[in-house]
Structure 1
Amino acid sequence: MGSMRWLLGGTVVTFLAGVAVAVRLSNLLPVSQSPTIGAEMPLATSSPDPAAATPPEIWTCEVVVIGGSLGGVAAAAHAMQAGARTCLIELTPWLGGQISSQGVSAIDESLVMRQRQNFSRNWNRFKQLIAAQTVALPSEVTGIATAVVADINGCWVGDLCFPPAAGHAASETLLQSTRQTAPDSRWATSTAFKGAEWNAEGDRLIAINAVRRIPRSPDYIPTGRLSRELHRWYDWESDATFEKIPLRLQPVAGRPFAVIDATDTGELVGWANLPHRLGSESYATTGEPHAVADNPDCTQAFTFPFALAIADDGGRSRNQLAQLQTGYAKAEHRRDFSLNGFNLLSGRSFFHYRRIVSLSGSNPLTGTPGRGDIALVNWNRGNDWNLMNPPLILTAEQILAEGQDRNWLGGLQIDALRAAENRALLFSEWLMQHHSTPTVPLAHLSGPDSPLQTQSGLSMYPYIREGRRILGRAAYGDDEFMLREQDIRFDLRGGRDWRARAIAVTNYAIDIHGCRYRNWEPSGEAASAPINEFVVKPIYIPPEALIPQRVDNLLIGGKSIAVTHIVNAATRTHYGEWSVGGAAGAIAAWYIQQGNADLPLAEASRDEVLVQLQNQLRSQGLRLDW
């Protein structure tokens, strides 16, 4: 009888004559010094009940994209556009990340770029695709069952705001259309990354492992309390809610194999413990004028958005939220709440900021919204969660302590998720309590017909502004390359110019949603770094920002590129993530086209190769110039 090799929880499992033998292939390399994270991983010889596990479903792929985030969708689309057989997995039920499951379906773009209209062709086409989507609406609130996004768009944060389901639908439509040039490509939502397999040298990925979950009930919707569901989403074993199907994504025989980490927290980076940084950095570490301290706890605030409607539900939703039991005292949450001087409704208001359904058609800068209008709430002095007691993202030491190197469960702190959920729900209650009136009633929307389609009304997954950020290889005089604050500001000396080497270009304010501790002890946050986009240069991103250390066939396709904590605040938004993801997908496809499975992806950064690669990126509708 032959053998079958696959991985459970980071452990390679070989089924030989019906006996499961588990051996982990770890990348055993020297321990890096703090604040660089990337220590060696211990050997593991066991995994969750491998003998009882179902053998996996096998997908053969040339490019694997981990994470159907906005960057992941762009990466998969551009890899397929170039003909690469591409496989994508996404944890949540929706594709699109921040424009769908994370509830930030309000395109927030640089004012400078909006004035110049110098976005890429593919980004403009994607926005048009979103605007053309027909979406279901909560008819009890709106009085109509469906609408086209373009007909209900009316916000002032940007030019396009929409129900999150439209972001998922547009992402699905985009992938379906680009699959025509790579017909064997496939993707799956509700699928969790579980680990990977390495070659004998530990410098190349040879398979990605995942687990799909299929709800047993056709009426299932996510709870909107990720703290209660996260580990169940990642568990190998089936339960009363989900049937689980192990999945192994492996190379096409005789072909190169490229992997893109497009998760918003850098899941593969964290699981494999590749050299990376987490949280804020000091001046001694980065040389940035506004850097304060090395603190892995201090990632930017994360948020669970929700939808608020101008509708009369008889006080039902407010009464439900009043029953919420919280760990932190409600008064402690509420003392942070404020509209920051904005009107609730009229003019350039809180409600108009991210209004996703405009039935009234009111001007978002001068008018007043009406009954049936719906706003998405993602507010700094409201549902942002910036407390680091505890921090959200697990460090390498915490991953080891929890055994997630052997059984990956997302790499997040459950207590932090729970506190952020409570903060969001309490902010919704506060808005209804203090701002709802008989003439302008407010209602918190939840359930299957609500915009976020969860039981609680919160987003399926939080909006992640910052996760793990890779340290690049030696380049441009850096032993470990990263884009620094000086590289992106007009008013600072010492910046480097990558116009000739760009594989993406973006722009945005340095917009830090800062961290703090509950007792206000020093956090290390770069509180003086934020600046508007008119002081920020065009941010040219060289290929080295996407290429991690130690692994020769891995790229980053989202927020986890090689940037500092400060620079992440300018590259993390919609267009920056899209541009990086598209570049990663196109570079991966170029790598596959070379036909050499031993070629390192770092070859893409060689001068003579980069010129050809840049031409290919432009031919796919990506923009590399300002």
Structure 2
Amino acid sequence: MSETTADALVVGGGLGGVAAALALLRAGRTVVLTEEYDWLGGQLTSQAVPPDEHSWVERFGVTASYRALRDGIRRYYRDHYPLTERSRAWRELNPGAGHVSRLCHEPRVAVAVIEAMLAPYRGSGRLRVLQPYRPVAAEVDGDRVTSVTVEHRDGGGRITVTAPYVLDATETGELLPMTGTEYVTGFESQAETGEPSAPAEAQPLNMQAVSVCFAIDHVDGDHTVDRPASYGFWREYQPPFWGDRLLSWRCPHPRTLEIVERSFTPNPDDDPLSVVADQRLSPGDANLWTFRRIAARRNFVPGAYDSDITLVNWPMIDYLEGPVIDVPDAGRHLAAARELSLSVLYWLQTEAPRPDGGTGFPGLRLRGDVTGGADGLAQAAYIRESRRIRALYTVVEQDLSLAVRGDKGAVRYADSVGVGMYRIDLHPSTGGDNYIDVGCSPFEIPLGALIPRRMTNLLPAGKNIGTTHITNGAYRLHPVEWNIGEAAGALAAFCLDRGTTPHAVREGDALLDDFQRRLTDDGVELRWPQVAGY
């Protein structure tokens, strides 16, 4: 087993981990960054989820480095893809013309841009990326993590990393149990949080469904996959609140819970520039093909794309049979979630009702080359909910909810380290809950939510901050995760520079002012402007 050292160790190379590493590197620090999958970028790349963002994203409400990522994706398309002149001139280019986001794109493009952002630091030797490595053990001395051991995913040995600061940017908060850091999972009780949507008793294993996404196009020929072994089970599967079988076009509306019917029309001859993406439910959600489309063929010169490419992250792939955190059969559930997605694909190809009255779309072709997964699906499951630290401050529903707060404008915290905006949007859960949807004010990210109550040098850098099961539904999206990671990385660098601790930064007015000034100098927005229409 080999050993290495750095100023900071960032475990997990998702959006939060990449942003944390970049913040540390910009501050002149050395970093070891680990990632267990083949691509950096997490939910944007290996999980293949187009960015969910608020409706003001093109103007404000994200960090400068996140905007650089978005700009880089658009520039990559203009530099390397055969766009039509009309699309090339589109200032707010949406390559997929998907309705879920103003920037739907192929995952590999984000990988290329992220690698370009990190490349100078790799070249200088200040960044070492260990990939594919996953954490397997940690050493702790009192309230400090002294080292973390990571293991090569494919049997390439172990490396122990020692660093003054350790950032947990894993998708499920893997370092929290390894280090004995206090954390919570699932639903907290209403008695603990006072949240209107919380249950009377805590439900630690009741977590949002995970989903295994996949990309498809529609071309001539029969591209039907082999019938999955569990297809019979999933074909008859019907959650009690679903209104039909899971494998159908019918499902609950996430806002009203009314049973609604989606449509599915491959390759509609639509104009990509006519798309109006909104973080609120848009008309594009009605046609599942265009909702998360990541390549619109009419954005490219004729003949470049035989078909649109769409990303399947639809209600029917939400896996409800069990959680994948703190259970002995997590691996079985992850495997079953992949089988569910393959079963959905098989249903689409063979039995799904068509608008013309027929059944099945055999021309649907699985595009594993787009997602990079060995089985044709995304490399990693989309994890909506992580272990979450017991933090100095926990964001609760009352902080965000329009129904509770009324029209008071954006949520403000004295120790803000960033901003975000998204409704509380909880998918159906492993405990049998239907969607939970709560309208929110634009919000800030409190520094107190990034600091564990006890541990002094371990920082969360993703969905493992001090939110609840409910408020995680607003804080789990792409730009917020990036902002959280960037703030955590900047905090570690600031503490190293000043010889102080995260707890002291939050508790000291002068230190907090200096840290917030550093964030704003780096392009992190700490306050929302006056906005309307949320």
TM-score bracket for this pair, using the shorter chain length: 0.7 to 0.9
In 2, Cα distance between equivalents of 1:71 and 1:514: 25
For residue 570 of structure 1, the aligned residue among 474, 477, 486 is: 474
Of the structure 1 ranges 90-99 and 162-171, higher mean CA displacement relative to structure 2 is found in 162-171
Q: What is the correspondence of 1:521-560 to structure 2 with a 5 Å cutoff?
A: 523=432, 525=433, 529-532=436-439, 536-560=440-464
For residue 97 of structure 2, the aligned residue among 154, 157, 165 is: 154
In 2, Cα distance between equivalents of 1:442 and 1:622: 46
For residue 324 of structure 2, the aligned residue among 372, 384, 392 is: 392
1:488 corresponds in structure 2 to 400
For residue 373 of structure 1, the aligned residue among 302, 308, 312 is: 308
Q: CA deviation at 1:497?
A: 5.7
For residue 84 of structure 1, the aligned residue among 3, 6, 29 is: 29
Q: What is the correspondence of 1:466-505 to structure 2 with a 5 Å cutoff?
A: 466-473=385-392, 481-493=393-405, 498-505=412-419
SS of the residue 1:515 aligns to: coil
1:511 corresponds in structure 2 to 425
1:245 corresponds in structure 2 to 157
Of the structure 1 ranges 150-159 and 434-443, higher mean CA displacement relative to structure 2 is found in 434-443
Q: CA deviation at 1:179?
A: 5.7
Give deviations 1:515-552, integer Å, cap 9, x for gaps.
145xxxxx4x4x584124xxx12221211101113311
Cα pair distance change 1:329/1:572, threshold 3 Å: closer
In 2, Cα distance between equivalents of 1:350 and 1:336: 15
Of the structure 1 ranges 558-567 and 113-122, higher mean CA displacement relative to structure 2 is found in 113-122
In 2, Cα distance between equivalents of 1:167 and 1:592: 31
For residue 501 of structure 2, the aligned residue among 581, 590, 600 is: 600
| Contact in 1 for aligned 2:208/2:430 (Cα 8 Å) | no
Q: CA deviation at 1:285?
A: 1.9
Q: CA deviation at 1:152?
A: 3.8
SS of the residue 1:461 aligns to: coil
2:19 corresponds in structure 1 to 74
Q: Give yes or no for the alignment of 1:425 onto 2:332.
A: no
Cα pair distance change 1:427/1:509, threshold 3 Å: same
Report the residue type matching 2:349 in the other structure: M
SS of the residue 2:425 aligns to: coil
Give deviations 1:330-356, integer Å, cap 9, x for gaps.
422792123353331347321111111
Larger of the two Rg values belongs to structure: 1
Report the residue type matching 1:266 in the other structure: G
Give deviations 1:97-155, integer Å, cap 9, x for gaps.
00111111x111123x34864333222111111223369x9xxxxxxxxx9x9684321
Cα pair distance change 1:512/1:243, threshold 3 Å: closer
| Contact in 2 for aligned 1:503/1:624 (Cα 8 Å) | yes
In 2, Cα distance between equivalents of 1:439 and 1:427: 11
1:331 corresponds in structure 2 to 236
Q: CA deviation at 1:604?
A: 1.9
SS of the residue 2:403 aligns to: coil
In 2, Cα distance between equivalents of 1:454 and 1:440: 22
2:373 corresponds in structure 1 to 454
Q: Give yes or no for the alignment of 1:358 onto 2:291.
A: no
In 1, Cα distance between equivalents of 2:360 and 2:397: 49
In 1, Cα distance between equivalents of 2:60 and 2:126: 36
Q: CA deviation at 1:208?
A: 1.5
2:317 corresponds in structure 1 to 383
Cα pair distance change 1:127/1:177, threshold 3 Å: farther
In 1, Cα distance between equivalents of 2:307 and 2:105: 14
| Contact in 1 for aligned 2:121/2:127 (Cα 8 Å) | no
Report the residue type matching 1:119 in the other structure: V
Q: What is the correspondence of 1:573-592 to structure 2 with a 5 Å cutoff?
A: 573-592=477-496
Give deviations 1:279-303, integer Å, cap 9, x for gaps.
1122112111111141111111110
Report the residue type matching 1:250 in the other structure: T
Q: CA deviation at 1:371?
A: 4.0
| Contact in 2 for aligned 1:89/1:188 (Cα 8 Å) | yes
2:84 corresponds in structure 1 to none
For residue 126 of structure 2, the aligned residue among 151, 174, 184 is: 184
Q: What is the correspondence of 1:203-218 to structure 2 with a 5 Å cutoff?
A: 203-212=143-152
Q: Give yes or no for the alignment of 1:344 onto 2:264.
A: yes
| Contact in 1 for aligned 2:319/2:337 (Cα 8 Å) | yes
In 2, Cα distance between equivalents of 1:259 and 1:329: 41
| Length-normalised TM-score, structure 1 | 0.71
| Contact in 2 for aligned 1:270/1:468 (Cα 8 Å) | no
Cα pair distance change 1:115/1:342, threshold 3 Å: farther
Report the residue type matching 2:401 in the other structure: R
In 2, Cα distance between equivalents of 1:167 and 1:498: 32
How many residues of Structure 1 are paired with residues of Structure 2 in the alignment? Answer: 477
| Contact in 2 for aligned 1:446/1:455 (Cα 8 Å) | no
In 2, Cα distance between equivalents of 1:338 and 1:378: 14
Give unpaired runs (5+ residues) of structure 1.
1-54, 138-146, 213-232, 234-241, 252-256, 363-369, 399-411, 474-480, 518-522
SS of the residue 2:437 aligns to: coil
In 1, Cα distance between equivalents of 2:320 and 2:236: 16
| Contact in 2 for aligned 1:262/1:581 (Cα 8 Å) | yes
Give deviations 1:165-185, integer Å, cap 9, x for gaps.
1222221111124568x7422
| Length-normalised TM-score, structure 2 | 0.82
Report the residue type matching 1:374 in the other structure: I
In 2, Cα distance between equivalents of 1:327 and 1:439: 16
| Contact in 1 for aligned 2:396/2:471 (Cα 8 Å) | yes
Q: CA deviation at 1:431?
A: 1.6
Q: CA deviation at 1:197?
A: 1.4
In 1, Cα distance between equivalents of 2:360 and 2:332: 39
| Contact in 1 for aligned 2:234/2:343 (Cα 8 Å) | no
Report the residue type matching 2:150 in the other structure: A
- How well do the aligned residues superpose, as a CA RMSD in angstroms? 3.1
Q: Give yes or no for the alignment of 1:110 onto 2:61.
A: no
| Contact in 1 for aligned 2:411/2:442 (Cα 8 Å) | no
In 2, Cα distance between equivalents of 1:321 and 1:547: 48
Q: Give yes or no for the alignment of 1:288 onto 2:195.
A: yes
1:119 corresponds in structure 2 to 62
Q: CA deviation at 1:311?
A: 1.3
Q: CA deviation at 1:264?
A: 1.3
Q: CA deviation at 1:610?
A: 0.7
| Contact in 2 for aligned 1:469/1:563 (Cα 8 Å) | yes
SS of the residue 1:375 aligns to: strand
Cα pair distance change 1:372/1:529, threshold 3 Å: closer
Q: CA deviation at 1:586?
A: 0.7
Report the residue type matching 2:343 in the other structure: L
| Contact in 2 for aligned 1:554/1:601 (Cα 8 Å) | no
In 1, Cα distance between equivalents of 2:159 and 2:209: 33
1:169 corresponds in structure 2 to 112
Q: CA deviation at 1:600?
A: 3.1
| Contact in 1 for aligned 2:143/2:455 (Cα 8 Å) | yes
| Contact in 1 for aligned 2:11/2:34 (Cα 8 Å) | yes
Report the residue type matching 2:54 in the other structure: S
Cα pair distance change 1:424/1:502, threshold 3 Å: same
Give deviations 1:178-205, integer Å, cap 9, x for gaps.
568x742211221111121122xx2111
Of the structure 1 ranges 271-280 and 553-562, higher mean CA displacement relative to structure 2 is found in 271-280
In 2, Cα distance between equivalents of 1:190 and 1:516: 29
SS of the residue 1:585 aligns to: helix
Q: Give yes or no for the alignment of 1:308 onto 2:243.
A: no
Report the residue type matching 1:418 in the other structure: A
In 2, Cα distance between equivalents of 1:454 and 1:179: 26
